[in-house]
Amino acid sequence: MLTVVSDTHGKESHRLTGRTLDAVRDAELVIHAGDFTTETVLDAFYEEAAALRAVYGNNDDAATRRRVPESRTVEYGGVRFAVTHTRHGGPTALSLFGRERDADVVVFGHSHRPAFDATGPIPLVNPGSHAEPRGYRAAHVEIEQIEGGVGGRFCTPGGEVFERFELPADG
């Protein structure tokens, strides 16, 4: 399983609870789409995740920015994920970012709003924030291999699954 989280905004801990904590611990791979806030929080994620692929966000300290890139590409289940915290210009800029990286999907954070958008040329996934939802539902995304690609679900720390989606392998 691949677990996707973002926007932790912690100072001392990973702020993972319930199903989100279990999903990070159980995942083969964890993507964090930025805004740990401090290097201490980044280290807490490295302690929980078997494998972590992270990017930094606009609220991350200098130490975190030195250790993780602004953007990256991650492959899982035959699907190529372009990962960033944010791109000015909204969905159009995110789609362009994904196309530049020959990605099948773009993962991003920043808004704290969990969302899946397949209306553009490249699907966009924002896992929301597991710890600081800012008026939205606290959430993370779990992705598993299925025949022909991957299937994803948005989950709350309390264990509720509130949206599902599928992404085909190789576009």
**How does residue 169 score in pLDDT terms, banded at 50, 70 and 90?**
confident
Contact 53, 74 (CB under 8 A): yes
Enter the pTM of the model.
0.97
Q: What is the pLDDT of residue 110?
A: 97
Percent of the chain with pLDDT over 70: 99
Residue from 122, 121, 126, 124 nearest 140 by CA? 126
Q: What is the pLDDT of residue 116?
A: 98
pLDDT in tens, 137-161: 999 999 999 999 999 999 999 999 9
Between the alpha carbon of residue 167 and those of residues 81, 112, 158, the distances in Å are 11, 22, 25
Write the CATH number of the domain with boundaries 2-168.
3.60.21.10
Q: CA angle at residue 119 from 117 to 53, to 5 degrees? A: 40
Average pLDDT of span 121-133: 97
Q: How far apart are CA 78 and CA 168, in angstroms?
A: 8
Average pLDDT of span 71-79: 96
Q: DSSP class of residue 31?
A: E
What residue segments make up the domains of the chain, in order of their start?
Answer: 2-168
**How does residue 35 score in pLDDT terms, banded at 50, 70 and 90?**
very high
Contact 154, 139 (CB under 8 A): yes
Mean pLDDT of the chain: 96
Q: What is the pLDDT of residue 171?
A: 53
- 16: pLDDT strictly greater than 60: yes
Q: What is the pLDDT of residue 115?
A: 98
